[in-house]
Amino acid sequence: MIRDANAPQGQTRARTHQSPQLTADAPPASARQIYTAPSVLTRKDYQGWTLGMHVPAHAELELLSDIQLVRALVHHQYMLELPAGYFQHPDTADASQVVTVAAKATLKIKGFVYLLADIIGPATLLQDNLAELHKPIRFGNTPRTKLPYTIRNHLNAVFAHPQTLADIGISKQAHLTHLAVLHTVWQNTCCATIKHRVQLAVTRPSIALKSKRKLPQHSSNKCYQYILPYRIPYPSETQLVTK
């Protein structure tokens, strides 16, 4: 047994001679998981999850706290198609609109947990600058928090009372696929932006040259005529002498 220089104190591993092919196939250190949840979860495991990336797909929804659930949804950028009643237009008070949202952030107001999501559909709401929506994770006992339109109620209605995060479509593979699609879209957006900036850089000198040619060519005397349209009446020398 030889101590690994990069491993924490108290941890050792056995070093064996491996073939170059096996060494090349080993995943890099950056690709290793920071946290690997055991197959059988205990209460201590649930209490140790402070980030959304820590919550495994086989975690039970009923055992997750509201803050853990919303952090998991935000980490996976989870999308929900909320039915009528979840969104009320601020101008018309119409609550019949079905909206599609993507989990964005966590809100905690007076000890109550809310999910802050971006509205991504329909397009008419985006044109009206209505881009955000926050909904509680569960309903409370007070008039302010006793609302039927909660995230947990929506998940139970859509997925017929799911047991785990995997039952609502959350998995590591789905998350990697989602990130790959975002990466492709972002590359296309960057390429389009760079192309647009190059076109602007090419057209700006020609525009500046055209505007420079359109400037009127005035002599020094005529220039003052535009600045001072009225001639200032200075007294003549004879007037100064007579006075």
Q: Residues 104, 123: contact at Cβ < 8 Å?
A: no
Q: What is the pLDDT of residue 6?
A: 45
Interval 224-240 mean pLDDT: 53
Q: What is the pLDDT of residue 208?
A: 56
Q: What is the pLDDT of residue 216?
A: 56
Residue 121, classified by CB atoms within 10 Å of its CB into exposed (0-12), middle (13-18) or buried (19+), is middle
Q: What is the pLDDT of residue 97?
A: 85
The beta strand positions in 61-217, using DSSP E, are 79-82, 99-109, 112-121, 132-136
∠ CA(79), CA(45), CA(165), 5° rounding?
20
Q: What is the pLDDT of residue 109?
A: 85
Which tens digit of pLDDT belongs to each residue from 91-149?
A: 888 888 889 999 999 988 888 899 999 998 888 787 777 778 889 998 887 777 777 89
Is the pLDDT confidence value at 205 over 70? Answer: no
Using omega within 30 degrees of 0 as the cis cutoff, is the peptide bond preceding 56 cis?
no
Q: What is the pLDDT of residue 79?
A: 92
DSSP 3-state of 99: strand
Q: What is the pLDDT of residue 73?
A: 94
**Cα–Cα distance for residue pair 25/33, rounded to 1 Å:** 17
**Cα–Cα distance for residue pair 149/155, rounded to 1 Å:** 11
Most confident of 51-55, 219-223, 239-243: 51-55
Q: Which amino acid is at 160?
A: A
Q: What is the pLDDT of residue 27?
A: 43
Q: What is the pLDDT of residue 24?
A: 39
Question: 105 has which bridge partners?
Answer: 116
DSSP 3-state of 205: helix
Which tens digit of pLDDT belongs to each residue from 36-81?
A: 677 788 888 898 899 989 899 999 999 999 999 999 999 999 999 9
Q: What is the pLDDT of residue 224?
A: 47
Q: Residues 133, 99: contact at Cβ < 8 Å?
A: yes
**Cα–Cα distance for residue pair 162/6, rounded to 1 Å:** 42
Q: What is the pLDDT of residue 180?
A: 87
Report, in this order, helix, strand and coil percent for the chain, each rounded to 5. Answer: 40, 15, 45
Which tens digit of pLDDT belongs to each residue from 144-171?
A: 777 789 999 999 999 999 999 999 999 8
More confident residue, 14 or 170: 170
- What is the dihedral angle through the alpha carbons of 78, 84, 85, 90, rounded to the nearest 10 degrees? 90
The beta strand positions in 111-220, using DSSP E, are 112-121, 132-136
Is the pLDDT confidence value at 18 over 50? Answer: no
Q: What is the pLDDT of residue 156?
A: 94
